[in-house]
Amino acid sequence: MLLKICNSIVIFLFFIHPIYSEENSKQFTIDKNKQDQIFAKLLKLGNEKHSKFSGTISKRKVTNRHYDPETGKITELEEVLVERIEYFFKKPVVKAITYRKNGKDVDPTSFNPPLTEPPLPLFGPGSEKNYNLKIIGQEKIKGKLCYIINIQPNFKTDRHLIGKLFIDASNLEAVRLKGGLAKLPFGAKSLDLDINFSTVDGYNVASSGIVRYIAKVPLIIHEKVENEFQSIEDGFVK
C-alpha cells in the first residue's frame, strides 16, 4: 500500500525548512471578498479542466532512490523514461520507454510500479466538500509574488492533501505545492512532497517534483526513498 500511494503522488505531489515565515503570515491580511473571488476563479478553472479532459498525458524522467536509513547509502537506483496517462479520478496508466537499474539497462517491461487513485483535486468537482482553503500570506517563489494557500482537508484519508499551495498573485497559476497526505499509508513513518507546476493550454499541470518518505515495518522493510520526476512533454487527454 505504501508504494502504491507514493507512486501515485509523485506524478501529481513540508520538508526541511518552510519557505515562508510565521511572522509574515501573521502580518498578512486579505479582504474576504477578494479571497472569495480568487477561489471562485480557481474553482471555475478547475471545473472547466475536469469537464474538458479526463486527465493528463506526459513523457517524463523518473528517478527512484532507495537509501539505508541508518547509513544514508543508496541501496537501489532506478532511472526510467515513461509515458504516463494520469487520470483525474482513477488509476493512471504507465508505460516505460527505457529503464536502468543500478546503472544497467534492463527490459522496460519489467518496470511495473504499483498504482492507485490520485489525490483529490484542490479545485474541481467535490473540492469544496473535501477541503478548507484559506489565503494566509504572500511569498516570492522563483521570482514570482505568490499567495500562500493553506490546505486543510475535511476528511483524514490518504487521498486528501494537506500543506501549502503557492499561486502566482498576478494570474492565479499554481507555482508550487508543499505538503503531504492527511493520513499516512500503512508502514510510512513520514511522507513529504514538493511539486512544481507549469501551464499547458491555460491549465496547470505538475511538471516536476519529489516525494520523500521513510517506510518501516518490523522484519519486512526499513528504508528511506526519494521518488523524483521531471516532465519532458505535457498535455491533456479527453
CA dist 141 → 20, 165, 166, 168, 195 (Å): 10, 11, 8, 9, 13
Locate 148 and state its grid cell: 500562500
Residue 21 has a pLDDT of: 41
CA dist 170 → 32, 42, 134 (Å): 18, 13, 18
For the chain, domain boundaries: 2-13+22-237
- Mark out the alpha helices in the chain (DSSP H runs): 2-9, 22-27, 32-52, 127-130
Is residue 13 scored above 70 in pLDDT? no
Locate 89 and state its grid cell: 479520478
Q: Which residue has the higher pLDDT, 88 or 187?
A: 88
Is residue 11 scored above 70 in pLDDT? no
Q: What is the CA radius of gyration of the chain?
A: 18
Is residue 43 scored above 70 in pLDDT? yes
Residue 190 amino acid letter: S
Instruction: Please tell me the CATH code under which domain 2-13+22-237 is placed.
Output: 2.50.20
- Report yes or no: 62 and 78 within 8 Å, Cβ to Cβ: yes
pLDDT 10s digits, 175-205: 999 999 999 887 778 889 999 999 999 999 9
Residue 26 has a pLDDT of: 57
